[in-house]
Chains A and B, each alone.
Chain A
Amino acid sequence: MKALVFERKVARYAAAAVAGRVRPGKGAAVGPLALRDVDEPELPSTTGWVRVRPRLAGICGSDLATIDGHSSRYFGPIVSFPFTPGHEVVGDLDDGIRVVLIPILTCAVRGVDPMCAWCLAGQPNRCERIAFGHLEPGLQTGFCETTGGGWSIAFVAHESQLVAVPDELSDEDAVIVEPTACAVHAARSLLPGDIAIIGAGTLGLLTIAALRHLGADHTIVATAKHPQQQRLARDLGADRVVAAGELPRAIRSLTGAMVIGDQLTGGVSSVVDCVGSADSIGQALSVVAPGGEVVLVGMPGPSTALDLTGLWHRETSLRGSYAYTRDDFMRAIDVVRDQQLGRLVSATYPLARYRDAIEHAANAGGRGAVKIAFDLRNEKERNR
């Protein structure tokens, strides 16, 4: 079976880190990701496991960070090598049912009994057992050796991870549901008041869409670098779309704030940071209102030096937002349907052209694209 495999090869990982710095996406060429012929993953012995044959599998920002060698050491113990990436997946079951994957590997999936408190409480995104149970460590499908991942001909998944796709949703719609669920989860947690969204990549755009779907009637200011992103952001419901450098001024005049140094005296009550760099978090903290919240939706870069004096003085919070609950996920399907978010899938590639695909994804904004996915529907092996 053909699969893209990410192996533990330190030298290659270092080379990818260098290449990724030179040009985003180049890590695929020299790094530890390779297209291999491997055995299909075996179904675990516990009950409820099925085989999924991916139709489309998206390339996510966290995948790119891993491939380009700049993901955090934090991930070391919660992934298991070699793994096949791919957690944004729409696929077919053996009986032909089209499903979309909830990739989080929770207590239920791992057969952990008793389940952790979070899983019991219906918040599996906070599961405490992601490296335990009968599966190899891995926070999600796509980072776990046992399950395989979406960038392959087939992988295995637990029944609790699967949601049937309504017929009216295209494959493109379905593959965007998983990231949309992240956006829905973040959008639901925001404080009331005006909102700034930094970054108009997939997550930024989806957060705008989710906020509008949830009926937020506050002003949404979004930053977007590229013309296509600006157009989409406006289209999906942002009230003001500005270049990154213009954000502090836009928020100042929106909220009628004063300025002290680089810090606005007032600001918006929530800032959703979908970039996650030290610069973007610094900017977010400078435009958030006292008592407001900066929410990191994208995976942040590993090394972030921040001056937190303002955070202390203004009683602002910096908070993460990871994944979603099952309810968020179901809601995401509605968002995708209403806003026809399948249109955000800009290009698809066969597995064999993975280097092009990765490079395209890493430079999506500049090339007028949003979401890049692997298309496995026409792989010969799959249709045998």
Chain B
Amino acid sequence: MPRPGFVLDVDRSTPPLLFWHGEGFRLEKLPPERTRVIYPPEPLDPMKDPQAAIRRALLNPLGDSKPLPELLFPDMKLTIAFDDVSLPLPPMRRPDVRQRVIEAVLDMAAEAGVDDVHLIAALALHRRMTEAELRHAVGDRVYDAFAPSGRLYNLDAEDTDAMAYLGTTESGEEVEINRRAAESDLLVYVNINLVAMDGGWKSTATGLASYRSLRHHHNVHTLQQSRSLMDHHRSELHSSNWRMGKVITDAGVKIFQIETTLNTDTFPSPFEFLMKREWEWTARDRALFIGSSKSLARTPSRITRQIFQSIKAPHQMTSVQAGEVGPVHEETIRNVHRQQLVEVDGQTDILAMGLPYICPYNVNSIMNPILVMCLGLGYFFNLYRNKPLVREGGVLIMSHPTPWEFHPVHHPSYIDFFEQVLSETTDPLRIEAEFEKGFAEDEWYRHLYRTSYAYHGVHPFYMWYWGAHALQHVGRVIIVGGEPRSVRRLGFMPASTMNDALEMASDVVGRTPTITHLHVPPLLLADVK
């Protein structure tokens, strides 16, 4: 029986605690009596026979939807859209759940004799997936069956002919999604709900949408009103997506949503100790920790990056549900909460967290400073329900080396954003007003997004907006162990040690602040009372 998450009050006998630090770790002793540590729940037991569970879900859909076989007929147009390389994190061991689900769906389609099938990686403005990544996500059989004939492809949201405008919501938001998906007799969306933010109408209304549509909710105003991103009932981002979902439904797009949840079994052997509580580390774990952190410190970053990026998580499926978007997503969220929710009592002055080597946008890539900001302020800060873990005006302390390094192929517009935009201002509103349009419409970025493997020109802006709520909420951000030049460019303060960081925090939060350490990953969702 896996143990639930829990909150540890640090006392004098508490050992130094593990902080992720990019492609490495730090052990930090935190002040006793006023520090607490939030540990994630242990991974839930997976479903016994995932194959059978998927079939069961397809045959017994939720909400007002017929079983999948009844929706399939020989001369139909069937489109299967699936989540891109940003999910799950780290990438999971083969076979990926998307492969399992897609194969099950296709097997039913084959039974019904459906010939016209397209598969689309719903990546919105993310970079295109490489062949290897697509093969990993959908499996070799599906790839070999559809890719050579051009029926398995990445979404191209800049191909105006391939996008269909469906109308506007009652709030005036334009809805434009992939034409093939919109004009199919059935759109099957295959999702992975790693965190509570994913899924629901965000799958279709964001994953298959163009810039024209995305700008209505991927903006500073909306994201400052999304409190938090992980709670779709209190997130303006999600409200907007749900309104768009209504437009999509009203336009006659028939969607069969399949959502899956994974357990938090994040790190494979022999690195399971990264998921354990420090006092439960065995002699072997400790030896491994010492060995790996010493050798990582001596290894060139290019190689440590390769080592970490090759980690495949042993994630396993904890639920799968299919049918109508709304009811399916409620069930999904229930399952995400079952795995990730931890009750926490009240806010603190300082929120400390270690940032790992990966975030949704640097799979097989480099975690650049903008992504460091986004992971810390956009994702980890938002891992709450009700109230943020840190009080308004409090301090955020993150640990990451934050090197001034960018992946030239994946993140070209990030480089320019960092050099040209952040050198002028770090204020999200000013950035949005003065720079977004230029980047979004830049032909070169468009070209790279469409033909190379580059994130769209506007994507770094979204990274910055993702952190807008946190930027507005906290009084200071300190990065422990960060490269000073790049940390300053982000508008944050670099500190060389945790003690220095706490010292620097004291002129914002006083001499004896309360501290909360968010001990992730594995992920959790703090329910702050």
Contact = CB atoms under 8 A, between A and B. Distances in A.
| A and B touching (Cβ–Cβ under 8 A) | yes
Interface of A: 240, 242-243, 246, 249-250, 252-253, 256-259
26 contacts: A240-B420, A242-B419, A242-B420, A243-B419, A246-B419, A246-B420, A249-B415, A249-B416, A249-B419, A249-B420, A250-B416, A250-B420, A252-B416, A252-B444, A253-B416, A253-B420, A253-B438, A253-B439, A253-B442, A256-B442, A256-B443, A256-B444, A258-B443, A258-B444, A258-B447, A259-B444
B99 to A, nearest CB: 37
Given A253-B442, A258-B447, 6 more contacts: A246-B419, A249-B416, A249-B419, A250-B416, A252-B416, A258-B444
SS class, residues of chain A in contact with chain B: mixed
Interface string B449-477: 00000000000000000000000000000
A242 B416 CA distance: 11
Contacts of A253: 416, 420, 438-439, 442, 444
Interface string B410-447: 00000110011001000000000000001100111001
A249 B419 CA distance: 9
A249 B411 CA distance: 13
Contacts of A257: 444
Contacts of A259: 444
B315 to A, nearest CB: 38
Contacts of B447: 258
Contacts of A250: 416, 419-420
A357 to B, nearest CB: 32
Nearest to A265: B444
Nearest to A257: B444
Instruction: Give the top 9 A-B pairs by smallest Cβ distance, nearest first.
Output: A246-B419, A258-B444, A253-B416, A249-B416, A256-B442, A250-B420, A256-B443, A249-B415, A253-B420
A149 B36 CA distance: 74
Contacts of B444: 252-253, 256-259
Interface in B235-261: none
A249 B417 CA distance: 10
Interface residues of B, number: 11
Interface in B379-426: 415-416, 419-420, 423
Contacts of A249: 415-416, 419-420
Contacts of B438: 253
A229 to B, nearest CB: 15
Contacts of B439: 253
A189 to B, nearest CB: 29
Contacts of A246: 419-420
Nearest to A249: B416
Contacts of A258: 443-444, 447
Nearest to A241: B423
A127 B110 CA distance: 87
Nearest to B417: A253
A279 to B, nearest CB: 19
Contacts of B442: 253, 256
Contacts of B423: 242
A257 B415 CA distance: 16
A243 B419 CA distance: 9
Contacts of B415: 249
A361 B443 CA distance: 44
Contacts of A242: 419-420, 423
Contacts of B420: 240, 242, 246, 249-250, 253
A257 to B, nearest CB: 7
A241 B443 CA distance: 23
A249 B438 CA distance: 14
A240 B419 CA distance: 10
A203 to B, nearest CB: 24
A242 B419 CA distance: 8
A256 to B, nearest CB: 6
A56 B423 CA distance: 38
Contacts of B443: 256, 258
A256 B441 CA distance: 9
Nearest to B421: A253
A240 B424 CA distance: 9
B364 to A, nearest CB: 23
A221 to B, nearest CB: 10
A256 B438 CA distance: 9
Nearest to A245: B419
A257 B416 CA distance: 13
A382 B439 CA distance: 62
A246 B423 CA distance: 12
A241 to B, nearest CB: 8
A370 to B, nearest CB: 22
Nearest to A250: B420
Contacts of A252: 416, 444
A259 B419 CA distance: 18
A196 to B, nearest CB: 14
Interface string B326-351: 00000000000000000000000000
A252 B442 CA distance: 10
A252 B447 CA distance: 14
Interface in B216-232: none
A249 B443 CA distance: 14
Nearest to A252: B444
Nearest to A242: B419
A258 B412 CA distance: 12
A258 B420 CA distance: 17
Contacts of A256: 442-444
- Chain A CB count within 10 A is highest, among B415, B419, B442, for B419
A256 B439 CA distance: 9
B489 to A, nearest CB: 12
B453 to A, nearest CB: 15
A257 B446 CA distance: 12
Contacts of B419: 242-243, 246, 249-250
Contacts of A240: 420
A116 B330 CA distance: 90
A252 B438 CA distance: 12
A191 B447 CA distance: 30
Nearest to B441: A256
A244 to B, nearest CB: 12
- Chain B CB count within 10 A is highest, among A242, A249, A253, A256, for A253
A277 B117 CA distance: 59
A365 B420 CA distance: 22
B436 to A, nearest CB: 13
B451 to A, nearest CB: 11
A240 B421 CA distance: 11
- Chain A CB count within 10 A is highest, among B439, B443, B444, for B444
Interface in B197-227: none
B210 to A, nearest CB: 20
Nearest to A264: B444
A246 B415 CA distance: 9
A258 B450 CA distance: 14
A226 to B, nearest CB: 14
B449 to A, nearest CB: 13
A246 to B, nearest CB: 5
A268 B442 CA distance: 17
A252 B416 CA distance: 10
B431 to A, nearest CB: 14
Nearest to A253: B416
B415 to A, nearest CB: 6
B459 to A, nearest CB: 15
A350 B416 CA distance: 46
